C-alpha cells in the first residue's frame, strides 16, 4: 500500500495511491484508518512530505560498494548522525543551493518510517515498528562537510532532506534496486542487498541510543556514485518497489 500526504484546499490530507488515483483516508496512518469515497488524480495533487519526523537519523557508510569506492574499511558499528526536521522537503520541492556551499551532492538512500515508539527494540522484533519505506536524498554540502570536520552544517540546510514521494508499506528487503538519476542520466545504481547493516539491525542499534517516535525516519546510507548537482538540475532518487522522488535545484 502506498500512503501519500498532499494538500486539499489548504488542508493536509492523507490518501492511498491505487492505479494513478488517490483515495482520501480517514483516521490515523500510525493506527487505524479507512479509505473514503473521495478521490483525486495523482497527476494533479500537490505533494507534501509523507511524514513530519521529530528527527531524521542518517547512517554514514552502509554499502559495501561505497566503502570500496572510498577505500575505507567496513565499519564495525553503524556511523549515525542527525538531520533536522526543518530540512524535510516533499516530492517535486526545490532544493536550495546555499550561498556558502561550493559543492552540493546527492545521495540516494532508502528511508525507514517508524510506526510506533521504539526504545531498545531487538532486531528480531524491529520490523514490527516499521510503517513503511520512502526514497530519501541525503543532500550534502560536501565542501562544508570536509571544512567543518563534523557534519551538522553540511547535512542540515533547509531542503536538504527530500523524502517521498509516498510511504510504501510493503518492500522486499532482500532485493530492492536503488538508483539516482541526474537530469535523467543514471549516476548511482546499486541494491539494498549491498547493505553492511540491515534494516532490523539499524532499528535495533539506533533505538538503543535514542527513542524513535512515529514518523521518525532512518535514512540508511548511500551506495557508490555520489556526485555534484548544479542549479537547474533535476535529481531523482528511485527505489524499485517504492517509486521515484524528484526534486530540482535552485539558488538559495
Nearest approach in angstroms of CB 158 to Mg ion is 18
Binding site for Mg ion (CB under 5 A): 107, 138, 222
Q: Three cell numbers at 72? A: 575505507
Pick the closer one to Mg ion by CB: 159 or 222: 222
Distance CA 165, CA 2 (A): 9
Pick the closer one to Mg ion by CB: 13 or 190: 190
The β-bridge partners of 83 are: 56
How far is residue 98 from each of residues 14, 47, 76, 121, measured CA to CA in Å?
A: 31, 23, 34, 38
Name the residue with the smallest CB distance to Mg ion. 138
Pick the closer one to Mg ion by CB: 145 or 222: 222
Nearest approach in angstroms of CB 171 to Mg ion is 19
Distance CA 124, CA 249 (A): 40
Q: Three cell numbers at 15? A: 490518501
Nearest approach in angstroms of CB 81 to Mg ion is 9
Pick the closer one to Mg ion by CB: 42 or 141: 141
Nearest approach in angstroms of CB 112 to Mg ion is 14
Q: Three cell numbers at 130? A: 516499521
The contacts of residue 247 (CB under 8 Å, 6+ apart) are 89, 91, 92, 93, 94, 95, 137, 162, 234, 235, 236
Nearest approach in angstroms of CB 222 to Mg ion is 5
What is residue 54's three-state secondary structure? coil
Pick the closer one to Mg ion by CB: 109 or 168: 109
Pick the closer one to Mg ion by CB: 108 or 242: 108
Nearest approach in angstroms of CB 183 to Mg ion is 21
What is residue 32's three-state secondary structure? coil
Distance CA 99, CA 153 (A): 13
Amino acid at each position: 500500500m502506498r500512503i501519500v500526504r498532499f494538500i486539499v484546499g489548504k488542508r493536509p490530507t492523507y490518501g492511498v495511491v491505487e492505479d494513478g488515483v488517490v483515495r482520501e483516508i480517514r483516521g490515523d496512518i500510525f493506527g487505524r484508518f479507512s479509505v473514503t469515497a473521495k478521490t483525486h488524480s495523482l497527476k494533479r495533487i500537490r505533494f507534501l512530505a509523507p511524514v513530519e519526523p521529530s528527527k531524521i537519523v542518517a547512517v554514514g557508510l552502509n554499502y559495501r560498494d561505497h566503502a570500496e569506492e572510498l577505500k575505507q574499511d567496513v565499519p564495525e558499528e553503524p556511523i549515525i548522525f542527525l538531520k533536522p526536521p526543518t530540512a524535510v522537503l516533499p516530492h517535486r520541492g526545490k532544493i536550495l543551493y546555499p550561498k556558502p556551499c561550493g559543492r552540493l551532492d546527492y545521495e540516494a538512500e532508502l528511508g525507514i518510517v517508524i510506526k510506533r515508539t521504539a526504545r531498545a527494540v531487538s532486531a528480531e522484533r524491529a520490523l514490527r515498528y516499521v510503517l513503511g519505506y520512502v526514497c530519501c536524498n541525503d543532500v550534502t554540502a560536501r565542501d562544508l562537510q570536509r571544512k567543518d570536520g563534523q557534519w551538522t552544517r553540511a547535512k542540515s540546510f533547509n531542503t536538504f532532506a527530500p523524502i517521498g514521494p509516498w510511504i510504501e508499506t510493503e518492500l522486499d528487503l532482500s532485493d530492492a534496486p536503488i538508483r539516482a538519476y541526474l537530469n535523467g542520466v543514471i549516476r548511482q545504481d546499486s541494491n539494498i542487498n549491498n547493505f553492511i547493516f540491515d534494516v532490523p539491525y539499524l532499528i535495533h542499534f539506533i533505538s538503543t541510543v535514542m527513542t524513535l517516535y512515529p514518523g521518525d525516519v532512518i535514512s540508511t546510507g548511500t551506495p557508490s556514485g555520489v556526485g555534484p548537482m548544479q542549479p537547474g538540475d533535476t535529481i531523482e532518487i528511485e527505489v524499485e518497489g517504492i517509486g521515484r522522488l524528484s526534486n530540482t535545484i535552485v539558488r538559495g
